[in-house]
Amino acid sequence: MAKKHKIAVVGGDGTGPEVVREGLKVLEAVAGKYGVDYETVEYDFGGDRYLRTGEALPDSAVGELKGFDAIYLGAIGHPDVKPGILEQGILLRLRFELDQYINLRPVVLYDKKYCPLGLREEQNVNFTVVRENTEGLYCGAGGFLRKGTKDEVAIQESINSYKGVERCIRYAFECAKKLNRQKKVTLCGKTNVLTYAFSLWQRVFDQVAKEYPEVKTDYAHVDATCMWMVKNPEWFDVIVTDNMFGDIITDLGAMIQGGMGIAAGGNINPQGVSMFEPIGGSAPKYTGQEKINPLAAISALAMLLNQIGEVEAAQAVDNSVIKVVREKLNSLGAGRMGYSTSEVGDLVVKGIINN
Ligand code: IPM
Ligand code: MN
């Protein structure tokens, strides 16, 4: 008998629960059709719980989540909670403590009419960002001197360990090999200014590259990467970069693939529990309005299925999403799709069942 997958569901804040609801609707449909056996357990982590209890994550959470095969996350971020508390207390804490050391963000254009760059063929925007997800500027290393005075100094340090950099770069090379597109990895850094951190990245990159003679290599500074992503996105296949640069360039990536409504990502621990999410955030102003595009969350579900080995079901979800994007929607933006949030979910379900 097929394995029963245990999936933890965290709807989270704002529109998170709405888009996750559509994802779960799609999961039910695809599981029925392809014989995927699963169970879900819902967790109420997020801003409302924090405001009620004063704790972002209960101490038991990380241990419990380790018992799942995957985590499906909506969004974290609440307008009544000071910026940083929920992000650090939930999202970053889970990424760190579950050692999800890769943030995998595909940038794929499903229909050229949604690309703001104009006149791009779909195949011109088809790359994957492998973002380091547990180190860099995100570690919270640093502090204040003379805080609150005019002599104040704030220090925020970027942590780059050999182990952290090596496993991330190795994942990127494996990714390029497996995806079998251009078979090329571009290191995105800033070797001309961040001469310590990216010296390590460059040295490890060159060393790992030797083990993959079939994979081509390239380098671009992060500022130039932004330029090329707009001017010649077809140059990229797999981009590997640190946490902060990866955060920034994947928002740009989301835009050239049609917007936050379609951009999905995975926080991956290849040896442990991975967590999948739409990368757009909680979009509080659209909460409960049936306006938010659920396709990013549904694509994140496809990534989740892939990661737990349900490749056929994942492909079916992706195919249905692509068809809905190409044949049904007016726009990928919230409130402009021509359909409500749940109608878009229904369209994806229909595409899976009728296929
Ligand atoms: C993302 C988000 C997070 C990040 C925030 C919410 C902490 O922007 O997943 O890209 O910076 O990683
Ligand atoms: Mn971000």
Ligand nearest to the CA of 267: 1
Q: Which CATH class is domain 1-110+259-355?
A: alpha beta
247 close to ligand 1 (CB < 6 Angstrom)? yes
Task: Report yes or no: 276 and 267 within 8 Å, Cβ to Cβ.
Answer: yes
Residue 1 has pLDDT above 70, yes or no: no
- Whether 69 lines ligand 1, by a CB cut-off of 6 Å, is no
Cα distance between residue 188 and residue 198, in whole Å = 9
pLDDT digits (tens, 9 = 90+) for 285-312: 999 999 999 999 999 999 999 999 999 9
Please state the atom number of ligand 1 nearest to the C-alpha of residue 133. Answer: 12
Q: Are 303 and 262 in contact (CB under 8 A)?
A: no
Q: Is the CB of 310 under 6 A from ligand 1?
A: no
The DSSP secondary structure of 223-251, one letter per residue, reads: HHHHHHHHH-GGG-SEEEE-HHHHHHHHH
How far apart CA 103 and CA 249 sit, in angstroms, is 12
CA distance linking residue 144 with residue 231, whole number of Å: 40
User: Separation of 266 CA from ligand 2 center, angstroms?
Assistant: 12
Ligand 1 mean position, distance from CA 33 (Å): 34
Architecture in CATH for domain 134-256: 3-Layer(aba) Sandwich (3.40)
Q: Residue 115: what residue type?
A: C
Predicted confidence band at 2 (pLDDT cuts at 50, 70, 90)? confident
pLDDT digits (tens, 9 = 90+) for 228-279: 999 999 999 999 999 999 999 999 999 999 999 999 999 999 999 999 999 9
Q: What is the pLDDT of residues 320-342, one digit of tens each?
A: 999 999 999 999 999 999 999 99
What pLDDT score was predicted for residue 98?
98
7 C-beta closer than 6 A to ligand 1: no
Q: Measured at the alpha carbon of residue 308, what is the angle toward residues 14 and 162, in degrees to the nearest 5?
A: 85
Which residue's alpha carbon is nearest to atom 6 within ligand 1? 87
What percent of the chain is modeled with pLDDT above 70? 99
The whole-number pLDDT of residue 119 equals 62
How far apart are the CA of 196 and the centre of ligand 1, in A? 24
Cα of 207 vs centre of ligand 1, distance in Å, is: 30
- CB under 8 Å to 77, separation ≥6 — which residues? 13, 14, 47, 86, 87, 281, 282, 284
91 pocket-lining for ligand 1 (C-beta < 6 Å): yes
Residue ID of nearest Cα to ligand 1 atom 7: 87
Spatial CB neighbours of 28, under 8 Å, sequence gap ≥ 6: none
Residue 118 pLDDT > 90, yes or no? no
- Indicate if the pLDDT at residue 319 is higher than 90: yes
Do 1-110+259-355 and 134-256 come out as alike in CATH topology?
no
Query: How far is ligand 2, taken at its centre, from the CA of residue 350, in Å?
Result: 32
- What is the distance between the alpha carbons of residues 191 and 266, in angstroms, rounded to a whole number? 27
Residues with CB under 5 A from ligand 2 (ion): 247
Residues in the chain: 355
- Give me the residue spans of the domains in the chain: 1-110+259-355, 134-256
Atom of ligand 1 nearest to the CA of 91: 7
pLDDT confidence band for 315 (50 / 70 / 90): very high
Beta strands in the chain (DSSP E): 4-12, 37-43, 70-75, 102-108, 126-132, 142-145, 153-156, 184-189, 216-221, 238-241, 264-268, 274-278
Q: Kindly give the residue spans of alpha helices, DSSP state H, lying in 14-53.
A: 16-34, 47-53
